[in-house]
Amino acid sequence: MADTTGKLDDKVVLITGAARGQGAAEARQAAEHGAIVAVCDIRDELGEAVAAEVDGSYYHLDVTSAGQWREVVAAVVETHGKIDGLVNNAGIYLGDTVLDANEDNFRRVVEVNQHGVYLGMTSVAPTMIEQGAGSIVNISSIAGMRGYGAIAYAASKWAVRGMTQSAAAMLGPHNVRVNSIHPGAIETDMLFDLGEAAAERLVRSVPMGRSAKSEEVGAAVMFLLSDEASYMTGSELVVDGGLITR
């Protein structure tokens, strides 16, 4: 059982892509720390099950839809009166490189991973500004820290890093913090979908010699959502067992 400090007591936290993988783990961890969790995803059945487990609410939210963002943010504020935290976690991975590029795939990845984060930040910012407080955590990747074969994925994750810095600069005066997290090899469907050989190759290159559980990324997310990170904005937390040091 994780430590449950109550460090998110009564905070309202919206997490995208929370039906499975890291998002679902973060929903559970946030609830354990006392948060009221809005579980958002497009996989409705899985998302509703996670919401029931954490005693939260489920919202169908395709992060690429500005209209759905408007509706979900309005519904959460109507129900709970505020939004303290947003975790822009939803993401997809397509492996096309510059050598086997596919323009439709490029657009799709950018649409979800980059435009989705942009819509998330712009949708909650007015509420957080009005509150005079808030924490936005954007999930990038080690693919946003260095060159990476999957070109659309890398482009989108570098963009998340850049947008995080831009938003942190603009929202700092309003006491709204914006930070990015850069996971390495994390044991979710996204990693398993690479195929056994590619996943093993990736894990072999990790100095700590292993992949990570979703909760190990979640711990960094909980920290950034909490008041323990009260003076941190525009920071980039790498959670990769040392992968980018090589």
Ligand X SMILES: NC(=O)c1ccc[n+]([C@@H]2O[C@H](COP(=O)([O-])OP(=O)(O)OC[C@H]3O[C@@H](n4cnc5c(N)ncnc54)[C@H](O)[C@@H]3O)[C@@H](O)[C@H]2O)c1
Residues found near ligand X in the complex (CB under 6 A): 16-17, 19-23, 41-43, 61-64, 89-93, 112, 139, 141, 183, 185-186, 188-191
Q: Of 58, 59, 93, 153, which residue is the catalytic one?
A: 153
| Closer CB to ligand X, 93 or 118, in the complex | 93
Q: How far apart are CA 9 and CA 221, in angstroms?
A: 15
| Closer CB to ligand X, 44 or 130, in the complex | 44
Q: Assess contact for 117 and 180: CB atoms under 8 A.
A: no
Q: Nearest approach, Cβ of 162 to ligand X (angstroms)?
A: 16
Q: How far apart are CA 72 and CA 74, in angstroms?
A: 5
| Closer CB to ligand X, 84 or 93, in the complex | 93
Where do runs of H (alpha helix) occur along 175-227?
189-192, 196-204, 214-225
Q: Nearest approach, Cβ of 91 to ligand X (angstroms)?
A: 2
Token readout for 194 is: 């690479």
Strands 134-139 and 176-183: parallel
153 among known catalytic residues: yes
Q: Nearest approach, Cβ of 120 to ligand X (angstroms)?
A: 10
Place of tokens 């993988």: 21
**Active site residues per annotation:** 153
